Chain A
Amino acid sequence: MTATSLSKEDLGAARRALRRRKLTAFLLVAPLLVFLLFAFVAPIGSMLFRSVHNPNVADLIPDTMELMDDWDGVSLPDESLMNQFAVDLKRLANDRTSGRLAGEVNRILPGSSSVIQSTARRMRTVDDDELQQNGAALLFDAHANWQQVPIWQAIRQSGNPYTIAHYLTALDLERTPSGEIQARDGPRIYVSLYIQSLRIALFITVLTFLLGYPLAYFIANAPIRLSNILLIFVLLPFWTSLLVRTTSWIALLQTNGVVNTALMGIGLTSSPFSMLYTEFATIIAMTHILLPFMILPLYSVMKGIDPSYLRAAMSMGGKPIPAFLRIYFPMTLPGLSAGALLVFIVSVGYYITPALVGGADGQMISNLIAFHMQQSNNWPLAAALGSLLLFVILLLYWTYDRLVGTKNLSFG
């Protein structure tokens, strides 16, 4: 062992020091990881799971579902299955849970709800033995639909705890009772709302760029006192409640609001414009709210660009505007990409502002997700819509990464 090589003890000490450093680093990051796990990873995981997992029907009629396994799914099920279903239905009717079954099946085969509900009422008074023996006939007697295959197919479909049905709904598709996937009749509400959300988000991104870029440039090149004051004005919206900012737009935009009164006051128009509860209102209010997300990364990148670059370009004969576009603008791209990505992703999923000022045509996909969460109580569909939004955003991010590259992003 020479003096220039490491002894076993030296190596051990070096390794221990490295381990200690790693442990310290981990402990410092741990609170964030724990927070992310509980507030981010777990809810999203549960949302993704909920969007494909729906054990309601399987839990309601487990015995019927077991017998369903032996059914070919094409012809009418055999009598024993129908008898068992009649027994289950009676139990549900007595437990007052037949409505849940009716609701689930109705989503697959509209019109089934009343069939199931009325049949359940009839089964309530029938004796269990009678149902075991003669359930099929009683069902046929209660409603003619029980003699046809579709409602049985629908029950089997809804009884599968794992389903992509909600994704199909979210994409305006449906599965026929025989299992084929086809476009749903009627207006394509969900897909067109996704497209509307993306369009509004893109519009807002472009607007924040047009408004934010010159301002960021000015602040980055202003004397320190002025730039500090301006930055405070940029950040001011962060210090006020989102709700206050959005409702102030209601005061501004409503029929007898500030803007209309002013326009009519200076004689530009004789009757008020209807601006509130439109897509216009959603866009203008969200642009206002999201502007700082564009300005801050741009500002931080511009602050780091030495004025000598533009000076060099001009000393070499570059006229100010071409020099700006050829030299300065490309150097701000990392900030612009970061700002645009932030604004776009935040606005695609925005909820409160469109809900308050958007009216009917200014709604975004999040508003429909909230509707399914709170009003129609269709959590699986809400989860599927939310997951699809997540997939769309991931897809856009991936595309962006392929086209532009994310390694240059600078969030400030």
Chain B
Amino acid sequence: MTNTSSAYLRFQNVKKTYDHESLVVKDFSLDVAKGEFLTLLGPSGSGKSTVLMMLAGFESVTSGEISIDGVSITRLPPYKRNIGMVFQNYALFPHMTIEENLAYPLTVRNMAKAKIRDRVGEYLGLIEMQKFGKRFPGQLSGGQRQRVALARALIFEPSLVLMDEPLGALDKKLREQMQYEITRLHQMMGYTVIYVTHDQTEALSMSDRIAVFDDGIVQQCASPAELYERPRNAFVADFIGENNFIRGRVSKVEGEVVHIALPGGDTVTARAESELRHDQEAIISVRPEKLFVEPTSHASDNRVPARFVTRHYVGDFIRYYFQLSDGTEITVKVLNDLTAPNFSEGDEAGLVWLIKDCSAYPA
């Protein structure tokens, strides 16, 4: 976690409304350290893009402060903020060559011609596109355009780089390549990145920290591992990765651990992610790959009986579908090896898991 003293980019109680009735961004506060790769993740309409637009200066801030390095930029016009930005559609200027595109931010800064030429050459080398300087954006492939857009956002050495779903328009394979490329440049040059995406795989694999947005609020801001392993609430548990949810009622509270009585009569223990009272309706989450089907050598804290429904062959793993006695559907991911069990429909099986892989939230 970033503490106050190392905060480089800082949002303080930022709010935004478009219609003066409802808030699109509700009281957003966040500190970002220098050199950090922070991702804003959320479904569309969650407010993440609005935060980015306010940071870039294309949307006004209704209330609150945004500052970089202690200096408020809240009321600064975009062209004075010195923030690089990569757009989803690349926004390369179609009537200018790649070189001219890269030179644009330097030209508006009145840099000497010779210096501009050197810098453009250097950045063309950085993205391994020296041969393409004289081409126009229309003559490049999607991945090449993306690399140029990246170089153009970095070439004037901005204090901050924003990326607005930059890989959204690329196919899967290219997207993975570009993820690697962005991470490589980030590690090499150490700039601070604010990255917006709705693709969680992208977010998990690239970010230092991820802020999960929903309904104008940051639901959780944490490292990818923490976000995945210890989602703070049911929304994050559901939004990040795949999850099974089982409803029940709190039968006992033992500090951080709660006992939940399931409708089928079984009782399971789970880690309470927020305060739960006795007899409160609760919901527990456990990920499909953390569940094991008996017989198994894995240690177990909880066991519930289930009925086999069907299985889907995926390739590297097999997805098993079970039903609890109250009808709750449970998915289990089993590695595709020799131990993968064989069931036929209606077979009874026992599902087991550990307390640490199981979180409980208020329903």
Known contacts A314-B78, A317-B82; is-contact A322 B108 (Cβ 8 Å): yes
Contact of B95 with A314 in the complex, beta carbons under 8 Å:
no
A312 CB-CB contact with B under 8 Å: yes
Pair B78/A315 contact, Cβ less than 8 Å = yes
List residues of chain B with CB within 8 A of the CB of A322.
108
Specify which of B56, B91, B108, B162 is in contact with A317 (CB 8 Å cutoff). B108
Q: How far is the CA of A306 from the CA of B89 in the complex (A)?
A: 9
Tell me whether B235 is interfacial, beta carbon within 8 Å.
no
Q: Does A96 contact B (CB under 8 A)?
A: no
Query: B-facing mask of A301-338, CB < 8 A → 1, else 0?
Result: 00000101101111111111011001100110000000
| B108 contacts across to A, CB distance below 8 A | 316-319, 322-323
- B104: chain A residues within 8 A (beta carbon): 313, 316, 318, 326
Report whether B79 and A330 are in contact in the complex, using a CB–CB cutoff of 8 Å: no
Chain B: minimal CB distance from A94 (Å): 75
Known: A308-B89, A322-B108. A315 touches B84 (CB 8 A): yes
Question: Which residue from chain A places its CB closest to the CB of B78 in the assembled complex?
Answer: A314
Binary contact readout B56-94 vs A (1 if CB under 8 angstroms, 0 otherwise): 111000000000000000000111111111011101011
Binary CB contact string for chain B from 25 to 59 against chain A (1 if under 8 A, 0 otherwise): 00000000000000000000000000000001110
Question: How far is it, in angstroms, between the C-alpha of A311 and the C-alpha of B92 when the chains are bound?
Answer: 11
Q: How far is the CA of A312 from the CA of B334 in the complex (A)?
A: 47
Contact of A311 among B78, B82, B152 (CB under 8 A): B78
Question: Does B156 count as interface, using CB distance less than 8 angstroms?
Answer: yes
- In the assembly, what is the distance between CA of A317 and CA of B152, in Å? 12
Size category of the binding interface on chain B: 20 to 34
Give the distance in Å from the alpha carbon of A322 to the alpha carbon of B91 in the complex. 17
**B79 A312 Cβ-Cβ under 8 A:** no
Q: Is the interface of B mostly helix, strand, loop or mixed?
A: loop
Contact present for A312 and B85 (CB under 8 Å): yes
Instruction: Judge whether B312 is part of the interface by a CB distance below 8 angstroms.
Output: no
Q: Which B residues lie within 8 Å of A331 (CB)?
A: 93-95
Which B residues touch A323, using CB under 8 A?
A: 79, 108
Knowing A316-B156, A317-B109 touch, does A327 contact B93 (C-beta < 8 A)? yes
Q: Does B133 contact A (CB under 8 A)?
A: no
Q: In whole angstroms, what is the CA distance A308 to B153 when docked?
A: 13
- Output the least CB separation between B76 and chain A (Å): 11
Docked pose: A327 CA to B152 CA in angstroms: 15
Question: Complex Cα distance A347/B22, Å?
Answer: 51
Cross-chain contact A312 with B87 (CB below 8 angstroms): yes
Q: A316-B156, A317-B109 are known contacts. Are A311 and B93 too (CB-CB below 8 A)? A: no
The answer, yes or no, to whether B105 is at the interface (CB within 8 Å) is: yes
CA distance A200 to B177 in the complex (A): 59
Distance (whole angstroms) from the CB of B159 to the closest CB of chain A: 12
Inter-chain contacts of B78 with A (CB < 8 A): 311, 314-315
Among the listed B94, B95, B152, which residue makes an inter-chain contact with A316, where contact means beta carbons less than 8 Å apart? B152
Q: Which residue of B lies closest to A326 (CB)?
A: B104
Question: Once the chains are docked, how many angstroms separate the CA of A197 from the CA of B81?
Answer: 51
Q: Mark B291-328, 1 if CB is under 8 A from A, else 0.
A: 00000000000000000000000000000000000000
In the complex formed, the residue of B with least CB distance to A312 is B91
**B95 engages A330 (CB within 8 Å):** yes
Please determine whether B156 and A317 come into contact, CB atoms closer than 8 angstroms.
yes
Contacts of A306 in B (CB 8 A): 89, 91
A320 to B58, CA, bound (A): 12
Chain B residue nearest to A306 in the complex (CB): B89
Note all chain A residues with C-beta closer than 8 A to B153: 315-316
Which residues from A are CB-within-8-Å of B95?
Answer: 330-331
Nearest-Cβ distance from residue B97 to partner chain A, whole angstroms? 13
User: Contacts A306-B91, A312-B91, A313-B104 known; A319 to B85 CB distance under 8 Å?
Assistant: no
Bound: A311/B79 CA distance, A:
9
Once the chains are docked, how many angstroms separate the CA of A330 from the CA of B91? 14
B58 touches A311 (CB 8 A): yes
Query: What B residues does A313 contact at CB under 8 A?
Result: 93, 104
Q: Which A345-380 residues sit within 8 Å CB-CB of chain B? A: none
Q: In the docked arrangement, what's the CA distance between A306 and B92, Å? A: 11
Give the chain A neighbours of B80 by CB distance below 8 A.
Answer: 317
**Closest chain B residue to A328, Cβ basis:** B93
Q: Do A311 and B91 touch (CB < 8 A)?
A: yes
Whether the pair A316, B105 counts as a contact (CB closer than 8 A) is yes
Cβ-closest chain A residue relative to B164:
A308
Contacts of A309 in B (CB 8 A): 91, 93
Q: Are B84 and A316 in contact (CB under 8 A)?
A: yes
B56's closest neighbor in chain A, by CB?
Answer: A315
* Closest chain B residue, CB of each to CB of A319: B79
Residues of A contacting B56 with CB < 8 Å?
A: 311, 315
A410 → B minimal CB distance (Å): 13
Closest to A307 in B: B58
Q: How far is the CB of B164 from chain A (nearest CB, A)?
A: 8
Residues of the A chain whose Cβ atoms lie less than 8 Å from the Cβ of B93: 309, 312-313, 327, 331
**What's the least CB distance linking A408 to chain B, in Å?**
10
Task: Report how far A323 CA is from B104 CA in the complex, Å.
Answer: 10
> In the complex, which residues of chain A have a beta carbon less than 8 angstroms from the beta carbon of B85?
311-312, 315
Smallest distance from the beta carbon of B124 to chain A beta carbons, Å? 17
For residue A330, which residues in chain B have a CB less than 8 angstroms away from its CB?
95
Please give me the residue from chain A that is nearest to B105 by CB atom. Answer: A316
Are the C-beta atoms of B79 and A320 separated by less than 8 Å?
yes
What is the 8 Å Cβ interface bit string for chain B, positions 115-146, against chain A (1 contact, 0 not)?
Answer: 00000000000000000000000000000000
Q: Please, which residues of chain B bring their CB within 8 A of the CB of A318?
A: 79, 104-105, 108
A–B complex contacts, Cβ < 8 Å, 15 sampled:
A311-B58, A311-B87, A312-B152, A313-B104, A314-B58, A316-B104, A316-B152, A317-B108, A317-B156, A318-B79, A318-B105, A323-B79, A327-B93, A331-B94, A331-B95
Give me 16 other A-B pairs in contact (C-beta within 8 A), A311-B85, A331-B93 excluded.
Answer: A311-B78, A311-B87, A312-B93, A312-B152, A313-B93, A315-B81, A315-B153, A316-B84, A316-B108, A316-B156, A317-B82, A317-B109, A317-B156, A318-B105, A323-B79, A330-B95
Question: What residues make up the interface of A, taking CB atoms closer than 8 Å to B?
Answer: 306, 308-309, 311-320, 322-323, 326-327, 330-331
B: residues with CB less than 8 A from A are 56-58, 77-85, 87-89, 91, 93-95, 104-105, 108-109, 152-153, 156, 162
Rank and list the top 6 A-B pairs by shortest CB-CB distance, nearest first.
Answer: A316-B105, A312-B91, A308-B91, A315-B85, A314-B78, A308-B87
